[in-house]
Structure 1
Amino acid sequence: MFDHYPSWGQEFAQKYLSRTINQFLLHGNVHDMVCLNKKDKTDFVRLKTFLSEEFFGARDFVVFYDRSSGIYFRDKESQKDFNRAVAGRDSLLGTDYANKLPKDPVRVFSLLEQYFRIRVDDKKSIALIIDYAETIVPMNEAGSTGSDDRTALVYLSRWAHDPMFLAADFTTVLITENLADLNKTLVQNPYTSDIHIPIPNEQQRTEFIKYETDKETYKDLSAVSRPVLAQQTAGLNFIHLRSILSNARENKEKITHSRLSEVKKELIEAEAYGLLEFVETDYTLDNVAGHTNVKKHLRQAVKALKQGRQDVLPMGYLVCGPVGTGKTFMVTCFASEVGIPMVKLKNFRSQWQGVTEGNLEKILGLLKAMAPVAVMIDEADAYLGDRDASGDSGVSSRVFSQIATFMSDTRNRGRIIWFLMTARPDLMPIDLKRQGRAEEHLALFPPHTKEERVELFEAMSKKTGLQLTEEYVPQVIEQGLKTFSGADMEAALTRAKFRAAAEGKKKVSPEILDLALNDFLPPTYPEEVELQTLSAVIECTSKELLPERYQEMDRGEILEKIEDLKLRIG
Structure 2
Amino acid sequence: MFNHYPEWAQEFAQKYLSRTINQFILHGNVHDLVPLDRENNNFVRLKTFLSEEFFGARDYVIFYDRSSGIYFRDGESKKDFNRALSGRDSLMGTDYANKLPKDPVRVFSLLEQYFRLRIDDKKSIALIIDYAETIVPMNEAGSTGSEDRTSMVYLSRWAHDPMFLAADFTTVLLTENLADLNKTLVQNPYTNELKINIPDEKQRKNFIHFEVGEDKFGGLSNVSAEVVAQQTAGLNFINIRSILSNARENKETITHHRLSEAKKELIEAEAYGLLEFVETHYTLDDVAGHTKVKEHLRHAVQALKNGRRDVLPMGYLVCGPVGTGKTFLVNCFASEVGIPMVKLKNFRSQWQGVTEGNLEKILGLLKAMAPVAVMIDEADAYLGDRDASGDSGVSSRVFSQIATFMSDTRNRGRILWFLMTARPDLMPVDLKRQGRAEEHLALFPPHTKEERVELFKVMKNKTGLELTEEYVPKTIEQGLKSFSGADMEAALTRAKFRAAAQGMGKVTPEILDIALNDFLPPTYPEEIELQTLSAVIECTSKELLPERYQEMDRGDILEKIEDLKLRIG
Q: TM-score, normalised by structure 2?
A: 0.99
Instruction: Give the whole-Å Cα distance in 2 for the aligned partners of 1:297 and 1:214.
Output: 45
Matches within 5 A, 1:515-534: 515-534=514-533
Q: Shift in Å at residue 388 of structure 1?
A: 0.3
Equivalent position SS for 1:44 = strand
Instruction: Give the whole-Å Cα distance in 2 for the aligned partners of 1:457 and 1:504.
Output: 24
Q: Report the equivalent of 1:380.
A: 379
Q: Report the equivalent of 1:194.
A: 193
Instruction: Give the whole-Å Cα distance in 2 for the aligned partners of 1:84 and 1:218.
Output: 51
CA deviations on 1:409-457 (whole Å, 9 max, x unpaired) are 0000000000000000000000000000000000000000000000000
Instruction: Give the whole-Å Cα distance in 2 for the aligned partners of 1:345 and 1:18.
Output: 41
Q: Report the equivalent of 1:536.
A: 535
For 2:37, the aligned partner's letter is: N
Q: Shift in Å at residue 10 of structure 1?
A: 1.0
Q: Report the equivalent of 1:128.
A: 127
Is 2:382 aligned against 1:392? no
Instruction: Give the whole-Å Cα distance in 1 for the aligned partners of 2:116 and 2:505.
Output: 85
Instruction: Give the whole-Å Cα distance in 1 for the aligned partners of 2:498 and 2:75.
Output: 80
Is 2:33 aligned against 1:37? no
For 2:192, the aligned partner's letter is: S
Instruction: Give the whole-Å Cα distance in 1 for the aligned partners of 2:247 and 2:463.
Output: 39
Q: Report the equivalent of 2:12.
A: 12
Q: Report the equivalent of 1:66.
A: 65
Instruction: Give the whole-Å Cα distance in 2 for the aligned partners of 1:488 and 1:242.
Output: 48
Q: Report the equivalent of 2:27.
A: 27
Matches within 5 A, 1:243-282: 243-282=242-281
Q: Shift in Å at residue 41 of structure 1?
A: 2.0
Q: Report the equivalent of 2:178.
A: 179
Question: Which structure 1 residue ranges, 4+ long, deviate > 2 Å from structure 2?
Answer: none
Instruction: Give the whole-Å Cα distance in 2 for the aligned partners of 1:542 and 1:12.
Output: 48
Q: Among all aligned residue pairs of Structure 1 and Structure 2, give the percentage whose two residues are the same amino acid.
A: 86
Instruction: Give the whole-Å Cα distance in 1 for the aligned partners of 2:208 and 2:503.
Output: 58
Matches within 5 A, 1:398-437: 398-437=397-436
Q: How has the CA–CA distance of structure 1 residues 72 and 215 changed in structure 2, closer, same or farther, with 3 Å as cutoff? A: farther
Equivalent position SS for 2:27 = strand
CA deviations on 1:446-478 (whole Å, 9 max, x unpaired) are 000000000000000000011111111000100
Q: Report the equivalent of 1:441.
A: 440
Instruction: Give the whole-Å Cα distance in 1 for the aligned partners of 2:76 and 2:496.
Output: 80
Instruction: Give the whole-Å Cα distance in 2 for the aligned partners of 1:83 and 1:221.
Output: 50
For 2:466, the aligned partner's letter is: Q
CA deviations on 1:18-56 (whole Å, 9 max, x unpaired) are 111100000000000001102x22111110011011111
Equivalent position SS for 1:221 = coil
Instruction: Give the whole-Å Cα distance in 2 for the aligned partners of 1:499 and 1:530.
Output: 32
For 2:146, the aligned partner's letter is: S
Equivalent position SS for 1:21 = coil
Instruction: Give the whole-Å Cα distance in 2 for the aligned partners of 1:73 and 1:214.
Output: 34
CA deviations on 1:149-195 (whole Å, 9 max, x unpaired) are 11111100111101100011110000001111111111111100000
Instruction: Give the whole-Å Cα distance in 1 for the aligned partners of 2:104 and 2:397.
Output: 29
Q: Which stretch shifts more, 207-216 or 340-349?
A: 207-216
**5+ residue gaps, structure 2:** none
Instruction: Give the whole-Å Cα distance in 1 for the aligned partners of 2:193 and 2:352.
Output: 21
Q: Shift in Å at residue 384 of structure 1?
A: 0.1
CA deviations on 1:235-271 (whole Å, 9 max, x unpaired) are 0000001111011111111111100100000000000
Instruction: Give the whole-Å Cα distance in 2 for the aligned partners of 1:157 and 1:484.
Output: 65
Matches within 5 A, 1:290-301: 290-301=289-300
Matches within 5 A, 1:43-442: 43-214=42-213, 217-442=216-441
RMSD, aligned CA: 0.7
Q: Shift in Å at residue 215 of structure 1?
A: 7.6
Q: Shift in Å at residue 513 of structure 1?
A: 0.6
Q: Shift in Å at residue 216 of structure 1?
A: 6.0
Number of equivalent positions: 569
For 1:22, the aligned partner's letter is: N
CA deviations on 1:245-302 (whole Å, 9 max, x unpaired) are 0111111111111001000000000000000000000000000000000000000000
For 2:323, the aligned partner's letter is: G
Q: Shift in Å at residue 371 of structure 1?
A: 0.3
Is 2:496 aligned against 1:497? yes
Equivalent position SS for 1:207 = helix
Instruction: Give the whole-Å Cα distance in 2 for the aligned partners of 1:95 and 1:407.
Output: 55
Instruction: Give the whole-Å Cα distance in 1 for the aligned partners of 2:214 and 2:388.
Output: 57
Instruction: Give the whole-Å Cα distance in 1 for the aligned partners of 2:506 and 2:248.
Output: 51
Q: Report the equivalent of 2:546.
A: 547
Instruction: Give the whole-Å Cα distance in 2 for the aligned partners of 1:217 and 1:560.
Output: 70
For 2:500, the aligned partner's letter is: A
Instruction: Give the whole-Å Cα distance in 1 for the aligned partners of 2:73 and 2:500.
Output: 73
Q: How has the CA–CA distance of structure 1 residues 216 and 143 changed in structure 2, closer, same or farther, with 3 Å as cutoff? A: same
Equivalent position SS for 1:376 = strand
Instruction: Give the whole-Å Cα distance in 1 for the aligned partners of 2:455 and 2:214.
Output: 57
Q: Which stretch shifts more, 411-420 or 12-21?
A: 12-21
Instruction: Give the whole-Å Cα distance in 2 for the aligned partners of 1:182 and 1:217.
Output: 44
Instruction: Give the whole-Å Cα distance in 1 for the aligned partners of 2:523 and 2:408.
Output: 42
For 2:477, the aligned partner's letter is: E
For 1:283, the aligned partner's letter is: Y
